[in-house]
Amino acid sequence: MRIVVLVSGSGTNLQAVIEAVKTGELDADIVAVGSDIPGCLGLERAEGAGIETFVVAPADFGSRPEWNRALQAAVASYVPDVVLLAGFMRILDAEFVEAFDGRMVNTHPALLPSFPGAHGVRDALAHGVKITGVTVHIVDSGVDTGPILAQAAVPVREEDTEEVLHERIKVEERKLLVQTLADLSTRTG
Ligand code: 3YE
């Protein structure tokens, strides 16, 4: 299973996947790591692991559709079986989603369909839920609306701040992501 990973930030999910491939827990090849953010820590982690990287930055394009097409072409050039959004923070247009239909995976730090969008942890905390968690799902043309592959629950504690809660969610997120990819690789071959 060939995986292209897209990151915008620190790449902790990416790191978990890199390690799972290394230990053999996940039978897959990370063929490239791409980003919209030049120099982000996720790219550095990839380089540190000897993985090819690419950057397609919106600032270098005249319009959003042009950027989307360029990113799509860059990803497609690696002929991935799976495209993993690992802390990638951009919405991809319908054309992009169609090109990798049903093969693009995202993780979201809440129990979807509750609290979609950029601030899932903050929104869940503000709502006062007692249990939140993490969702691994297929990307469709909506935001965080695609078919759910797996979920794990994380109890909210009285004293939780967004940061502290997010850290506990991330621990579950890394495990669930690796498990889900391993399941996919068994099915994809
Ligand atoms: N794209 C589609 N479907 C999905 N991208 C992600 C999930 C997902 C997806 O399920 N089609 C934050 C988006 C939420 C946001 O508003 N981003 C802005 C840019 C922010 C900036 O300027 O840095 C935007 O316009 O994309 C990944 C997670 C998306 C998170």
Q: Please name the residue ranges forming H helices in the chain.
A: 12-23, 41-48, 64-76, 94-99, 120-127, 162-188
Q: Kindly give the distance from the C-alpha atom of residue 24 to the centroid of ligand 1, in angstroms, as a whole number.
A: 31
* Confidence at 93, pLDDT banded by 50, 70, 90: very high
Q: Which has the closest alpha carbon to 134: 154, 118, 117, 119?
A: 154
Give residues (CB < 6 A) around ligand 1.
Answer: 85, 88-92, 97, 106, 117-118, 139, 141-144, 146
Per the annotation, the verdict on 166 as an active-site residue is no
Q: Is the pLDDT of residue 92 over 60?
A: yes
Q: Which has the closest alpha carbon to 149: 177, 168, 169?
A: 177
- The torsion angles phi and psi of 185, rounded to 5 degrees, stand at -70, -30
Atom 1 in ligand 1: residue holding the nearest Cα:
91
Q: Which has the closest alpha carbon to 172: 125, 119, 131, 124?
A: 131
Mean pLDDT, range 46-64, rounded to an integer:
97
Q: Which has the closest alpha carbon to 106: 77, 69, 135?
A: 135
* Confidence at 187, pLDDT banded by 50, 70, 90: confident
Q: Is the pLDDT of residue 188 over 90?
A: no
User: What would the pLDDT profile of 105-128 be if each residue is shown by its tens digit?
Assistant: 999 999 999 999 999 999 999 999
User: What would the pLDDT profile of 139-164 be if each residue is shown by its tens digit?
Assistant: 999 999 999 999 999 999 999 999 99
* Confidence at 189, pLDDT banded by 50, 70, 90: low
Whether the ω angle into residue 113 lies within 30 degrees of 0, i.e. cis, is yes
Annotated binding residue 68: no
Mean pLDDT, range 71-76, rounded to an integer:
98
Pairwise CA distance, residues 186 & 96, whole Å: 25
CATH for 2-188 (1.20.1440.230, 3.40.50.170, 2.30.30.30, 3.40.50.300): 3.40.50.170
ipTM of the complex: 0.92
Q: Is the pLDDT of residue 104 over 90?
A: yes
Q: Which has the closest alpha carbon to 26: 171, 172, 180?
A: 180
Mean pLDDT, range 43-65, rounded to an integer:
97
Q: Is the pLDDT of residue 53 over 70?
A: yes
